[in-house]
């Protein structure tokens, strides 16, 4: 089996976003050239990425927008939605509970869990919040295999372990903690710090450079 480059996987949602916009605008066809121009990704790269989803384009016209959207969605398994649990309904957790788009990306949060007794029993955006004591039972009964981790950093590892112990095999980790998990368990980190690091360094570089240029005049 050909393994898909991670970077391709990461670019696909970007194409998808654009394609959906094009579709709303009523454009029936889109060329790789066009996608490349807008995203800044090299044309050849776009072609390679799209090729992996199995679509074929026609010369001079490109790809059928609808077909391409379907291809990407089905490739990412974003067509039918997977149920998942969220643990840690704090600032970030409740933002995610209120994030409508998730369902369009194949993810449906069916329940949330929090240690805070004040939150227990409440509902955020239609999702009920339970105490942690309910986790094991519900998780096994509903055969949940995706967990969203938004607890404070110091509880990240223990919470991840609890998830795994109850059958969760994929963790979407929003904490900056590196999770130590058994082989076979998928951990995907949403690394805001990483992104901020790039921003900070780039900006510092830019400002520093500008100061130098100014001085030299």
Ligand X SMILES: NC(=O)c1ccc[n+]([C@@H]2O[C@H](COP(=O)([O-])OP(=O)(O)OC[C@H]3O[C@@H](n4cnc5c(N)ncnc54)[C@H](O)[C@@H]3O)[C@@H](O)[C@H]2O)c1
Close Cβ partners of 100 (under 8 Å, ≥ 6 residues apart): none
Is 145 one of the binding residues for a copy of itself (CB under 8 A)? yes
Nearer to a copy of itself, 103 or 133 (CB): 103
Instruction: Please check whether residue 50 is in contact with residue 76, taking contact to mean a CB–CB distance below 8 angstroms.
Output: no
Cβ 123 to DNA, closest distance in Å? 41
Choose between 39 and 82: whose C-beta lies nearer to DNA.
39
Residue 17, interface with a copy of itself (CB under 8 A)? yes
Binding partner of residue 50 among a copy of itself, ligand X, DNA, none, CB cut-off 5 to 8 Å per kind: DNA
The distance from CA 157 to its chain's CA centroid, rounded to whole angstroms, is 20
Three-class SS state of 178 = coil
Minimum CB–partner distance for residue 137 and a copy of itself (Å) = 23
As measured in angstroms, the least distance from the Cβ of 131 to a copy of itself is 22
By CB under 7 A, name the binding residues for DNA: 5-8, 31-34, 41-45, 47-48, 50-51, 55-63
Contacts of range 47-52, beta carbons closer than 8 Å, 24 or more positions apart = 48/8, 49/8, 49/11, 49/12, 49/15, 50/15, 52/2, 52/4, 52/8
By the rule CB under 6 A, 171 interacts with ligand X: no
Q: 217: helix, coil or strand?
A: coil
Q: Which of 41, 84, 92, 144 binds ligand X (CB under 6 A)?
A: 92
């Amino acid at each position: 089996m050909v393994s898909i480059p991670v970077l391709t996987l990461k670019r696909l949602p970007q194409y998808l976003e654009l394609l959906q916009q094009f579709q709303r605008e009523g454009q029936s066809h889109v060329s790789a050239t066009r996608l490349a121009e807008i995203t800044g990704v090299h044309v050849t790269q776009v072609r390679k990425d799209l090729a992996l989803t199995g679509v074929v384009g026609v010369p001079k016209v490109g790809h059928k927008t609808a077909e391409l959207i379907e291809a990407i969605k089905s490739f990412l398994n974003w067509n039918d939605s997977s149920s998942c649990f969220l643990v840690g309904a704090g600032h970030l957790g409740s933002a995610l509970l209120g994030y409508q788009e998730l369902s369009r990306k194949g993810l449906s949060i069916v329940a949330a869990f929090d240690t805070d007794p004040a939150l227990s029993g409440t509902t955020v955006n239609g999702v009920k919040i339970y105490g942690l004591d309910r986790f094991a039972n519900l998780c096994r009964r509903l055969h949940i295999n995706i967990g969203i981790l938004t607890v404070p950093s110091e509880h990240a590892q223990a919470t991840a372990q609890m998830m795994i112990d109850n059958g969760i095999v994929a963790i979407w980790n929003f904490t900056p903690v590196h999770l130590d998990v058994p082989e076979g368990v998928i951990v995907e980190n949403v690394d805001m710090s990483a992104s901020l690091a790039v921003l900070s360094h780039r900006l510092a570089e830019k400002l520093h450079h500008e100061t130098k240029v100014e001085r030299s005049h």
